[in-house]
Amino acid sequence: MAPSKATTQVNEAALEEGTIGEASTPASQTPTATPSIITSSSRDANSTDALQRRDPPIWQKRLANAVPAPLRRAWDVTVRWVRGPQPPHIYRIKPFFPRVQHFPIHIVNRIAPRPFHKFILLVILYAAWIAAFATFVTKNSAADDILGYGQPSRLGCGATYWSVGNGCGLNGVGCRPFSNATLAFRCPADCQKTLVLNPRAVGTQEIVYQPLVVGGGPMNQSVVGFQPGDLVSDTVYRGDSFICASAINAGFFPASEGGCGVLTLAGEQASFPGRDANGIPGVTFDSYFPLSFGFLSGTRADCRDYRWPALIPSVIFTALLSLFTTNPAVHFWSLFTMLFWHVGMISDPPHDGASSAAALASTAFGRFLPACFCAAVMYHFAIRRSLTGLTAQFEKTVLWLGPAWVGSLNNYTFDKIPIQRLTPHDLAAQPGAIPALIAIVAVILVVALGQAWFFRQEGRMPRYLAVYGVLGGSLIIMLALPGLSLRLHHYILGLLLLPGTSMQNRPSLVYQGLLLGLFINGVARWGFASILETPAALLKGSAQGSILPAVAVIAASAANASITFNLGPLPFTSQNFSSAEDPVTYDGISVLVNDVERLHLFADDISSTDISAPANLTWTWHRHRLGSDLAALMNSSSSSPAGKRNSSLAASPEYFRFAYMSNGNVGDYSQAGTWDRDGSWKAMAPGPSLRKREGPSEERAERVGGSGGI
């Protein structure tokens, strides 16, 4: 029997292109990879012809007769168009300048003519890359002692001394000491990219989509306990500021390199003027805060972040492997492994770089093994077809490996896109997110239409319409599940879109490499995050929908430096804490003053003289003085430094937030009400401000003598 036309065309294309290292091999001895594709395509064409010749069942005939003839004709035309041309056109990349692109393989075949020799060369390349990689990992994790302060502690980019909301407890006792302590620390590079994703309250301001840095500007008076020049820029930062971003703002070290140094706790300060510097905006806070910190001049140490120097050998070794290898399995698995470990250990490590090399390796191993299973599925169903028989070595390196690196370095290549999380809440809240999403969807749509045309030309469009129909239907079902929110992490986007690149043409190589890189970055950096998350987990740190206390001011006296609030009755039952159908009993109340918890009261322990009968709770707050000691203020000379600071504190506004508690769980805090310098009261704006805490990822930074960090 004569071969089919499809088989003949593919065989002729294979003969014209040849196989790397076997240019003189007869056609009958061509590698088995190419005939496997030919046989599959021929079998698909033959099975399609057989289906067309088979008589349809009776029910199908009756259904067809019930459909109007114009619709039947339109359906038949659509089906024929979707099935594509007969015979199908199988795409194969014919190299530009084949002599040049085959040259690396000719070198390998001359140096290592046998498979064993090639294996030895491959092992040598692996060993060289591992040695270079291990050297940079070691340098990235090692730091010399800072004279007089010891080994620097590794901090993440979100490390802070003060927990959000009431996380530090009443009067901040859980975050002591406030002063007279130092910390030798190390920050990774690029901490300016760590942003607050849910609003954080600073006085009446709410900070979002920027690093949390409060202060950094010139102080109205010298920092108590320090001489001019003791601190970098002679300034301090509020205790809840991101430490590493504050160091960049102060000019302690550049953002691109990270660095080591020593910070010191400076205690309570009267105000925190802001300053925008070195790409980090500094927020102004015009009142006191019990904890502040600054950076000691002359303590910066040389412990730069080596992520950029380490990129050079990794790019070189992966490019060499791509150029000198034709086996698709060796090519894929080698590059997948190198890219994964480079991302997980150096370029975008988990925990913002706060972990040691051993801890990072442990995390990477835990994610690498399940990632290999996903990679095996991707290789079998999509990538193998694109790489098998590909002889365009330079094109493969540029078009496939290049985008793979672009996707793997997603934290740099796509960080300017104003989309932090692909959720309705973030898209509506972040400036520029919706136009960026529209542009991304438009690009994906154009690419999808192009890939659909290529699949039609290969006669595989019906199969992939079915695949994406199932995937789309699954996503629709997930969207409809009650109590859960769909979240498409970028590793999931890679898994969903990779099947659409299963062919050998130049656009598919680009898309495939990029999607594989996004998958690697997503898993190595963040792990296998769930595609379905509860709203509470998805929006941790944002408002949870609890009711807010109905607070009224009974008296505000500038002369007595006190203000009295009517907090209402406790306990009482409400219908809308987390769900309107679940009644919740509120048995306590929490009050923040200048973002520090000053009242943590339950209905069954009302014993303070400032609190009246439970039927109508009242609470009196006295204007804060330095060290909470009014006598010290009266006995201090107004011309002394302490007297000046106390006068400043006496004139500072104070910001109040109120929240109910239920079984110890704090609900939403109100917006800030302001007790101004002149004793007047500005009521809270309607609506909540923030929750109790951001969640596990926002724990407090390591303290002197502590054992943990962020």
Q: Residue 511: how many CA atoms within 13 Å on its side-chain side?
A: 24
Mean pLDDT of 509-515: 97
Token code pair at residue 543: 């408002």
Identify the H or E element spanning 589: strand 588-593
Query: How do the domains of the chain map onto residue ranges?
Result: 5-83, 98-137+306-529, 153-295, 552-685
* Phi, psi for 495 (deg, rounded to 5): -65, -40
**pLDDT tens figures, 370-379:** 999 999 999 9
300: tokens are 């910066």
Tell whether omega for the bond before 424 is within 30 degrees of 0, i.e. cis: no
- Average pLDDT over the chain, rounded to whole? 82
Q: Rounded to an integer, what distance in angstroms lies between the CA atom of residue 505 and that of residue 512?
A: 11
Section 528-539 average pLDDT: 81
Smallest CA-to-CA distance from 279 within 233, 214, 347, 211 is with 211
pLDDT higher at 57 or 273? 273
**H or E element, residue 662:** strand 654-662
SS3 89: coil
Residue 370, both tokens: 């399940």
User: In Å, how far are 15, 213, 214, 280, 642 from 273, measured between CA atoms?
Assistant: 74, 11, 8, 14, 19
Q: What is the DSSP string of 215-280?
A: BBS--SSPPTT--TTSBGGG--EETTS-HHHHHHHHTSS-TTT-EEEEEEEE--BS-B-B--BTTB
Number of residues in the chain: 710
Query: Longest Cα pair distance anywhere in the chain, in angstroms?
Result: 112
| C-alpha dihedral sign at 59, 64, 65, 68 | positive
Per-residue pLDDT at 140: 85
* Residue 324 pLDDT > 90: yes
The token pair that represents 255 in the structure block: 């953002």
Please give the class, per CATH, of domain 153-295.
mainly beta
Tokens of 372: 């290999």
pLDDT in tens, 163-193: 888 889 999 999 999 998 999 999 988 899 8
Over residues 398-406, mean pLDDT: 97
Per-residue pLDDT, averaged over 55-60, amounts to 75
Residue 597's φ and ψ, nearest 5 degrees, are: -70, 125
Report pLDDT digits (tens) over 78-129. Answer: 888 888 898 999 999 999 999 999 999 999 999 999 999 999 999 999 999 9
Pairing verdict, β 179-187 and 153-154 = parallel
The kind and range of the H/E element at 85 are none
Entry pTM: 0.80
Residue among 239, 201, 235 nearest 218 (CA): 235
- Position 415: which residue type? D
Bridge-partner residues for 673, per DSSP?
A: 656
As a whole number of Å, the end-to-end CA separation of the chain is 71
Query: What pLDDT was estimated at residue 214?
Result: 96
Rounded Cα distance, 427 and 355, in Å: 31
Tens-place pLDDT, residues 336-348: 999 999 999 999 9
- Please compute the mean of the pLDDT values over residues 41-52 and round it to a whole number: 49
